[in-house]
Amino acid sequence: MNLTVTKYERVWIEGLNRGDVSVADEAFAPDCVIHIAGAPEPNISVSAFKELVAGLLTAFPDLQITVEDQIIAGDKVATRWSAEGTNTGPLGDSPATGKRAKFGGLILDRVVGEQVVERWEQWDQMGMLQQISVIQ
């Protein structure tokens, strides 16, 4: 296993757990394309991704993300993650509910050097919204 491949993931997750989305500039190549299943725009830039993540961190300022599993094959890194936090800020047009949510997701990154050049991501958005009672 080449541990330098996952350095970007440690930088990214540790930054998110501090509430710092600016670490995306270190973890992702400037021209990285990020594909998020279920997002309003499924193919986004790093700056758009930072805005989405900042919105999530506004809604869940205590959000903590844990890498549960990681598999490396060539220039691809597959990561299974979980997250938990309390909805104490607005999520889009929905006011804070004060409820906790635990959810998870899967990421497949293509890495060149120590930066992500392309990401495919799926996570349990529906489950998170149900847990904080934004939807039934």
Instruction: Give pLDDT, residue 1.
Output: 40
Sites in the chain below the pLDDT cut of 70? 1-5
Instruction: Give pLDDT, residue 5.
Output: 45
116 part of a folded domain: yes
Tell me how far apart the alpha carbons of residues 13 and 29 are, in angstroms, rounded to a whole number: 16
Instruction: Give pLDDT, residue 116.
Output: 96
- Characterize the bridge pairing of strands 115-123 and 100-112: antiparallel
- For the chain, the domain total comes to 1
Tell me how far apart the alpha carbons of residues 98 and 119 are, in angstroms, rounded to a whole number: 31
Instruction: Give pLDDT, residue 38.
Output: 84
Range of the domain at 109: 3-131
71 part of a folded domain: yes
Residue 135: C-alpha distances to residues 112, 127, 131 (Å) = 39, 9, 8
| pLDDT tens, position by position, 79-96 | 999 999 999 999 999 999
136 part of a folded domain: no
CATH number (domain holding residue 48): 3.10.450.50
Instruction: Give pLDDT, residue 63.
Output: 98
Instruction: Give pLDDT, residue 4.
Output: 47
Tell me how far apart the alpha carbons of residues 119 and 32 are, in angstroms, rounded to a whole number: 8
